[in-house]
Structure 1
Amino acid sequence: MTRTATVMPGSLRAGRRAALLACAMIGTVAQAQDAAPAPATTAQAPDDSTLSEIVVTAQRRSESVQNVPIAVSAFSADLLSARGIATPLQLIQYVPNLFGSNNTGLGSANAYYIRGLGNTETIATFDPPVGTYVDDIYMSRQNGNNFAFFDIDRIEVLRGPQGTLFGRNTTGGAVNVLLKRPSDEVGGFLEAAYGAYDKKLIRGSIDLPLSQAIQIKLSGYFQDDDGYVQNTTTGERLNDSDLAGIRGAVQLKFSERLTWNVAAAYMRNDGENIINYDCDPRNPSNCGGRFATTGLVTRYAPGTISPFVGLGVSGRKAGYGLGNEVDTTMYTSNLEWAGDNLTLNIITGLIDLKQQYLLDFADGRGLPNVAVPETPVRGYPSGGFDILNDGSHRQFTQEVKVNGKLFGGVIDYVGGFFYFHEENRTDFADILNLGPILGIPGNVGFPAVLADRTLRNTTNAYAGYLQVDANVTEQIKLTAGVRYTDEKKNLGISDNRAACIANLTPNCLDSRNLAVNLPSGRLAIPLEQRTKQWTPRFAVNFQPNKDMLFFASATNGFKSGGWNARGSAPNTLLPFDPEKVWSYELGAKTELFDRRLRVNVTGFWLETKALQTPSAFIDPVSGAATFITQNFADYRNRGVELEITAVPVRGLTVYANVGYQNDKYKVSDTLLPNRYGVKAVRQQQIDCLAQLAQGRIPLGPTGPNNAPDCAAGIIDANGNIAKPVRTPDVSVSFGGSYDFPIPSAGIILTPSVNALYRSSLETGTAGGTIYTGSITAPSGAVYPSNPFSGEVIAGSLTKAYWQVGAALTMRTDDNNWTLSLECENCFDKAFVQSSLVNFNYLSPPRTWQVRAKRVF
């Protein structure tokens, strides 16, 4: 890159700025008190006296976010940079009623919950209810959605179902990422950072216009760190986040009306989210970090054979080491013709995602229960409970979209056709060490293969949509829209175990065996699901002036059905039905005091039919981890979301977001099992209460003392309908930044802080939690813990918590140089983000980084 392209008039002054940045802010406060006004510069500094306008495409056309009758939180490139947001997961502290975390085990996957709708499942027969979109391309798998950003234009988080304009699998909402298109001017940025756990980061982008008709953008990023978890069994570091990506984009301007944008990107994410503890289980007095004790290694020593080869695990997954690797290749194309009153877009996307992992979900030991709440450290070299996964996921999307105006602007419309095709192949195995269950001493145990199978499933979906806005008056707009979707899914499975290949028996996981034996006879599990669904939307807007918008809406959406593909027996791969949602909203968007104050508020009422609920628990008979996904109940959530942003004085920006939710499962009163013999929730509740009356104990060891119908599904340990997961009643975030100019140095110093509070919440569908305090079983056995009350040892409950982030930034007043010191979770708060089979997954510890950025 050349200096002449970016140096402003007065090279001595530009050099002085860079030197002052290198001095790391020493003496700047004292210097500012006697500062003289600086000469005017040729660069255009952003206006810091008012709130900036953000244009969004939440209705599939460009509009100011304040004119869109949808609950949407939007972040421009400048806002993302100011708040240090570099990955999608960092958005959660800025959006009301949005909960997000890494999936259990997988640092590459983000699980989003918006207004209570979300999931932590990545198996390809289960679709996420919060859709992720990149440049209008839907990403069907959330296995690799925790990517770093390239050169970003904006991010939009749409809350509530988006079934009309975005389609299937957006019952909770959508995260819409828009990347910058190539520019017709030479420019770009280069950013580098160093931080905690030897983190090294470099990001950059450059625009290279070849002519007025051809522009090119090249972007990339690289991140490497050592991982914040110390494995005291193997001596290795875990939970690193190694990322890399490269993207090339081309913009072809054939004419003033015809433009073609194409891009190709490759992203690599080697990140895991392994169970860890803030005190070392091998040495509980050592609480100076994060610790794990699994005996699995990330790399095998030369000449060493994986323990899974000897167990007969098939394929290349048998040789995996502990960890998670995701490779995503993405191709996008958007051909646009813009007329006077009509714009036509032909949008094409192709995504190829490959994922390989070996994860231990039991830290190399047995699974906890109230008899053994803190299982002894074993360090099994084959792990405690493992999943080995070799997955390939390919999708193709094609959309034709038209938007425009009719009758002189009386009618605005957007409509189109959408096609989606997906092919998934998942080769995966489940390994459980039976040593603790069988009472086998030592650090080897008895590893057993619960299942080893290859799952193949496909989806084909066609949809047409249309939304029409009638501008009845200058103040009143009526909206009606609808989408029709025709979707077909197919499933196939084959058993990889040698015995099943040689002789197919009824216990083998094969498509030919998928059936349930009922008193009325054998009922085959269908290998195909077909859904035809209309998803309408209605809204009314009242805009008394340009600074106020009031709206009311009713929106429908649905999420695809699927299969419980994590089942390890042929009769457990049961189908579940589509999830259908109606959301009713009443809201206001206002800008006051010459755009110095922005207040947006939305009230919502959400009604969900046939909520898809994934549940994992310890089988009371076998002691193994068991997974089941079913439509256990309907779901209702109602609440309020408030977003406030203000610029009280020049340079000072403050914000506050508040979310309130009141939700519950709505359970049918039927006592009859469903068509596949699954016990009704009300019958399970009756059976649980009967077991409690006998003194039997939930979450206990296998045997007659256990209450198997309690703390399972959506029935809690007390026999009540459980509280829905990841929906704190109250969430509050607030913060601010102040630009402190130092004119004599041509520098602006900006301290910033943000804080997030969440009230208590549940992370397990049954709310099963192990507490301190002994309890006596019917047999007379005394257990050292209980499932009812006390201090939390492990399990579903997350107590209320605060989390704080902060930064100190120095930048030149032409915004060409930036140097910042940033921290996340600054007070090192450890709280539970997720749970699985009575193990907890903690939030990441405190991290910091020093970041430097040069814009040219």
Structure 2
Amino acid sequence: MLPAAALAQDTAGSASDSDAKTLDTLMVTAQRKVENAQEVPMSITAINPEQLDVLGSGGGDVRFLSGRVPSLNIESSFGRAFPRFYIRGYGNTDFRLNTSQPVSLVYDDVVQENPILKGFPVFDLEQVEVLRGPQGSLFGRNSPAGVVKFDSVRPSQELNGYGKLGYGSDDMINFEGAIGGGLSERWSARASAMFQRRDDWVENTYPGPNDGLEGYDESAGRVQFLYEGDGFEALFNAHARHLNGTARLFRANIFKPGTNDLVDGFDPDKVSIDGLNHSELDSHGASARLRWDFGDYSLHSITGYESVETYSRGDIDGGFGASFLPDSGPGEIPFASETADGIPDHSQWTQEFRIESNTGTAFDWQAGLFYFREAYDVESFSYDSLAGGAQDGYQRIRQTNDSWAVFTAGTWEVTPDFQLRAGLRYTWDEKKLTVRDYWNTGFVPCVLLEKCTLAQLAAQEPDGDLSAAPKDNKLSWDLSGTWRLSDDVNLYARVATGYRGSSIQSAGAFNAKSVADPETSTSFDAGIKADLWDRRARLNASVFYYEVKDQQLTAVGGSTGNANILLNAKKSVGQGFELDFQAWLTDNLLVTLGSSYNDTEIKDSDLSVAGCAACTVTNDPELDEEGQPTGNYLINGNPLPQAPKWSHNLTARWGLPLAAGSEFYVYTDWAYRSEVNFFLYESEEFTGKPLLEGGLRLGYNWGHGRYDVAVYGRNILDKVEAVGGIDFNNLTGFINEPRLVGVEFKASF
């Protein structure tokens, strides 16, 4: 939603010689075809390449989009590797590598199902679209909250490209580049790449395996080939990613007991941990998008393949030693915990066939078939930090997922001013999980046994079975209408349903196997889309209400066993509004405003979860038949975790035309979110404070926008706040990114 760095400079002339500024028509593909966003009956925000340049100037990963779009939150307890998306407060806090999320991410028309795949870097993109509300007809399973859609810049016959190089705090280097053009009359190609690195900015004051932390180096590349024939088009894509660095840094006892204030003297640049912190990731994939044009009809085929390997290891207790030893800290460390998770083997195949009409009549339609196949192993390790990091536990699971779907959608122009849209999708879903290997000799319930084995693990199961194989099927649909009040104002209303398949949590040292039943959502939206002041301003606003039945929730940690289990809440609800506004207030000043209100609530009077080991829980305790506390707490009425009620974003860009084709500009952007719960229960300590972060950019461009040099700052107020917690055995948390300043040069051709 942020303004382009030079919104009007893609037309002939420059900012200094153009007439009164107007906003470009925003084209989106939310309905699987190119349309004017103002005519699509859905709450949508789109972000263009210039906006992404500004937000990503500090070398950030996909989380830099969080809060920059109304009702969008993105967070991670894995750092750059594993983003968790939330739309309208609806998401999933589960940190396991076989988890699913209710926000689907689609990259170049291929769904990225595994949460590790969702972190692919943001570079050389044509546009990012955020589609709020269930997208259960055209995008299908695991999209009951919405879809975040990334589209790369396509090859063309015209020779073009860019190079961008930035340098900033902690020896941060940020490079992007792309080049493309025609290879022959029919063929064109485009190659793009990025490289980012940053030195460690946190010092480890304990003589552990790591001297410094939070550094990384990451690279990614993409190659595309486009064939344009007579009535046939083929777009081939191959891409890869490599990440090496430290995992998310957990910090022991950073909260003052009884409050969510950071402890006195907290130093974000220092930690004291005795465990190893390391993260590495490699992924690659390819796709083939084919289109046959038969005049009144077009046939599409989309084939996608993705694969990822990853390993992430961290000091979970966030400190050193243990309280039963002479030396430990910071604060109380009941016992040491050091774990790792990885995916050694993974493959995802998708295939879609879709036919659409292009008759130009009052009724158009599309229909198709979709197949999804994913198979992978997940490894979990535990280590004894007190014995030099010796491995003391291991688990390997195998999960497969097969899904089939048939879908159809239609658009009927009832009158020139009234249009109806509808869609249907029927999905079959099969998932299977088996435990292939397990042993543990560490500090776990099996500690009195010589060794925890698969057989002993199965003994914890009520049925003695470590495997699970749920099968689901579901019909999802949507219905919407658009009323044109004038050439510049449209009203719309939409009702839609969504679906997420069953999820499985394997048995472990602290918990038995758990299976969450499928969840379904129903959402009601109504809104207005208007171009104002002769297209110098644009206003999009919507109100919404949704219900989720059998919502899958993850209960993490707790004092009764440090378990990690899946639950189904009978129902949860959300309601609120979104507002997008942008305007040229003068010919040199472009301002945007985004705002959203998300009021979420869990509605299940019998649902309870274990409370934390060291924090101050504010929910009512669950009582047994004798009226004694069970150690669990009732969460009925709580908001969903990581769901801020309020979020706002504001940008302003002021440009001063200089010599012909050159300009000096000032650009600032701000994002605010209100407080959030880190977990399902409510507590004093694990409630994230409101967070305000801002950016500032001073730049000079010339050559009609072809060249740009700038100095910038991210998190310029140097806000330091906890953005997540670890419910294990103490008041451990992790914080936001620090202030970063730098310089950047970009050349385009």
TM-score (norm 2): 0.87
Q: Are residues 1:356 and 2:311 paired? A: yes
**Aligned-partner SS, 2:223:** strand
Residue identity matched to 2:175: I
Cα distance in 2 for partners of 1:645, 1:131 equals: 27
Q: Are residues 1:764 and 2:704 paired? A: no
Match of 1:739 among 655, 666, 685: 655
Q: Are residues 1:685 and 2:622 paired? A: yes
Q: Are residues 1:292 and 2:301 paired? A: no
**Aligned-partner SS, 2:585:** coil
**Aligned-partner SS, 1:268:** strand
Q: Deviations over 1:83-129 (max 9, x none)?
A: 5567432222321111112x213321211111121123343442011
Match of 1:752 among 654, 658, 667: 667
Deviation at 1:277, TM superposition (A): 8.1
Task: Please show how residues 375-394 of structure 1 align to structure 2 within 5 Å.
Answer: 375-376=330-331, 384-394=337-347
Task: Please show how residues 671-682 of structure 1 align to structure 2 within 5 Å.
Answer: none
Find the counterpart in structure 1 of residue 713 from structure 2: 823
Please say if residues 750 and 810 of structure 1, whose CA atoms lie closer than 8 Å, have aligned partners that are also in contact: yes
Cα RMSD of the aligned pairs, angstroms, is 3.3
Find the counterpart in structure 2 of residue 230 from structure 1: 203
Q: Deviations over 1:760-814 (max 9, x none)?
A: 2211111234xxxxxxxxxxxxxxxxxxxxxxxxx41112232111111211151
Matched residue count: 706
Residue identity matched to 1:354: E
Find the counterpart in structure 1 of residue 437 from structure 2: 495
Please say if residues 279 and 290 of structure 1, whose CA atoms lie closer than 8 Å, have aligned partners that are also in contact: no
Deviation at 1:821, TM superposition (A): 1.4
Please say if residues 246 and 266 of structure 1, whose CA atoms lie closer than 8 Å, have aligned partners that are also in contact: yes
Match of 1:424 among 376, 392, 396: 376
Q: Deviations over 1:717-741 (max 9, x none)?
A: xxx6533212222111112101211
Q: Are residues 1:627 and 2:569 paired? A: no
Deviation at 1:173, TM superposition (A): 1.1
**Aligned-partner SS, 2:38:** helix
Please say if residues 112 and 118 of structure 1, whose CA atoms lie closer than 8 Å, have aligned partners that are also in contact: yes
Please say if residues 279 and 291 of structure 1, whose CA atoms lie closer than 8 Å, have aligned partners that are also in contact: no
Find the counterpart in structure 2 of residue 697 from structure 1: none
Task: Please show how residues 218-297 of structure 1 align to structure 2 within 5 Å.
Answer: 218-234=191-207, 236-255=211-230, 257-271=231-245, 272-276=247-251, 289-297=268-276
Match of 1:117 among 90, 98, 103: 90
Find the counterpart in structure 1 of residue 575 from structure 2: 638
Please say if residues 45 and 813 of structure 1, whose CA atoms lie closer than 8 Å, have aligned partners that are also in contact: no
Residue identity matched to 1:609: K
Find the counterpart in structure 2 of residue 708 from structure 1: 631
Which protein, 1 or 2, shows the higher relative CO under an 8 Å CA cutoff with sep ≥ 6? 2
Residue identity matched to 1:508: T
Deviation at 1:668, TM superposition (A): 4.6
Q: Are residues 1:576 and 2:516 paired? A: yes
Task: Please show how residues 768-847 of structure 1 align to structure 2 within 5 Å.
Answer: 768-769=683-684, 795-837=685-727, 838-847=731-740
Find the counterpart in structure 2 of residue 508 from structure 1: 453
Structure 1: any 5+ residue segments left out of the alignment?
A: 1-39, 298-321, 434-442, 672-681, 693-706, 770-794
Q: Deviations over 1:108-155 (max 9, x none)?
A: 121111112112334344201111111100001122433322321111
Higher helix share: 1
Q: Deviations over 1:680-701 (max 9, x none)?
A: xx99733499456xxxxxxxxx
**Aligned-partner SS, 1:751:** strand
Please say if residues 130 and 171 of structure 1, whose CA atoms lie closer than 8 Å, have aligned partners that are also in contact: yes
Cα distance in 1 for partners of 2:537, 2:204 equals: 49
Task: Please show how residues 393-404 of structure 1 align to structure 2 within 5 Å.
Answer: 393-404=346-357
Find the counterpart in structure 2 of residue 145 from structure 1: 118
Find the counterpart in structure 1 of residue 612 from structure 2: none
**Aligned-partner SS, 2:21:** coil
Deviation at 1:631, TM superposition (A): 0.8
**CA distance 1:798–1:92, shift in 2 (3 Å):** same
Q: Are residues 1:546 and 2:436 paired? A: no
**Aligned-partner SS, 1:66:** helix
**Aligned-partner SS, 2:52:** helix
Residue identity matched to 1:180: V
Residue identity matched to 1:456: R
Deviation at 1:377, TM superposition (A): 7.8
**CA distance 1:278–1:842, shift in 2 (3 Å):** farther
Please say if residues 122 and 142 of structure 1, whose CA atoms lie closer than 8 Å, have aligned partners that are also in contact: no
TM-score (norm 1): 0.77
Deviation at 1:45, TM superposition (A): 8.8
**Aligned-partner SS, 2:66:** helix
Cα distance in 2 for partners of 1:740, 1:618 equals: 57
**CA distance 1:649–1:669, shift in 2 (3 Å):** same
Q: Deviations over 1:342-365 (max 9, x none)?
A: 222110110011111212221134
Match of 2:412 among 470, 474, 499: 470
Match of 1:585 among 525, 547, 551: 525
Q: Deviations over 1:228-250 (max 9, x none)?
A: 32212246221223210121110
Please say if residues 434 and 466 of structure 2, whose CA atoms lie closer than 8 Å, have aligned partners that are also in contact: no
**Aligned-partner SS, 1:648:** strand
Residue identity matched to 2:337: G
Larger mean CA deviation between 155-164 and 84-93 belongs to 84-93
**CA distance 1:219–1:445, shift in 2 (3 Å):** closer
**CA distance 1:445–1:399, shift in 2 (3 Å):** closer
Residue identity matched to 1:179: S
Find the counterpart in structure 1 of residue 421 from structure 2: 479
Task: Please show how residues 16-95 of structure 1 align to structure 2 within 5 Å.
Answer: 49-81=21-53, 83-84=55-56, 87-95=61-69
Deviation at 1:446, TM superposition (A): 10
Find the counterpart in structure 2 of residue 440 from structure 1: none
Find the counterpart in structure 2 of residue 315 from structure 1: none
Residue identity matched to 1:404: S
**Aligned-partner SS, 1:93:** coil
Cα distance in 1 for partners of 2:450, 2:550 equals: 34
Structure 2: any 5+ residue segments left out of the alignment?
A: 1-11, 257-262, 443-448, 609-618
Q: Are residues 1:850 and 2:740 paired? A: no
Cα distance in 2 for partners of 1:817, 1:630 equals: 54
**Aligned-partner SS, 1:117:** coil
Larger mean CA deviation between 183-192 and 88-97 belongs to 88-97
Residue identity matched to 1:213: R
Higher strand share: 2
Q: Are residues 1:342 and 2:297 paired? A: yes
Cα distance in 2 for partners of 1:749, 1:574 equals: 59
Cα distance in 2 for partners of 1:654, 1:670 equals: 45
Find the counterpart in structure 2 of residue 787 from structure 1: none
Please say if residues 280 and 287 of structure 1, whose CA atoms lie closer than 8 Å, have aligned partners that are also in contact: no
Please say if residues 507 and 514 of structure 2, whose CA atoms lie closer than 8 Å, have aligned partners that are also in contact: no
Larger mean CA deviation between 140-149 and 527-536 belongs to 140-149
**Aligned-partner SS, 1:854:** strand
Cα distance in 1 for partners of 2:317, 2:152 equals: 39
Q: Deviations over 1:410-431 (max 9, x none)?
A: 1121221110000010121234
Please say if residues 435 and 467 of structure 2, whose CA atoms lie closer than 8 Å, have aligned partners that are also in contact: no
Cα distance in 1 for partners of 2:519, 2:17 equals: 48
Q: Are residues 1:724 and 2:696 paired? A: no
**Aligned-partner SS, 1:497:** strand
